[in-house]
Amino acid sequence: MEINRYIDHTILKPTATSEDIVEVCKEAKEYNFFSVCVNSGFVPLAKKELEGTDVKVCTVVGFPLGAMSTAAKVFETQQALKDGAEEVDMVINIGELKSKNFKQVEEEIAEIKKTVGDKVLKVIIETCYLTPQEIVLASEIAVKAKADFVKTSTGFGNDGARLENIELMKKAVEGKAKLKASGGIKNLDTALSFIEAGVERIGTSSGISIVKELKK
């Protein structure tokens, strides 16, 4: 099993330096991870470091709170794409979802998907702040707005990926979007349990130890 091809090798901490980004890109090339996921300001650097390889550049938009204006998110997306991002993980406006402004949430995702075009858009719904009913709703809204993936978490909330939430998301998207689990996935057993549950991508900064565990 090529577990490395499930992994978005992630470095999103606020203290990440240029040297850290270069190191993560080097690791991603060595282990042939699916992508490197960086904050949008580091997209040009990651693009340069990964040139000529199969490793994609993934970035986050509206991260980690999701509470900025749609225009700001769209601009950040446009700039990231210009800088070389191939996949975008956006955070929904959680407050708008909780305010039952579902149309607004859907329109924002649709607007960003329009900007992303044929590249991949993953929608982070931040499950730790949502009720089961809201997880289902957020997933259905993402599908309606033509998102390619729904994703569990930013890794900055008060909890990460949980299997029961993946089950809810899977049922809600009905095969019309893929699933990404992220947040707290630090070992092989956890990664495999999510893959068995139907996840097609895993966001983690522990990719190397997961791969090494599998090789053992």
Active-site residue, from 113, 122, 170, 180: 180
- CA-nearest of 63, 18, 62, 23 to 44 is 18
The single-letter DSSP state of residue 157 is S
Active-site residue, from 8, 89, 170, 178: 89
Active site residue 151: yes
**152 contacts: CB under 8 Å, gap ≥ 6:** 124, 125, 126, 127, 160, 161, 162, 165, 166, 169, 180, 181, 182, 183
- Alpha-carbon distance of 36 to 161, in angstroms, equals 19
Active site residue 118: no
Active-site residue, from 47, 151, 170, 178: 151
Catalytic residues: 89, 151, 180
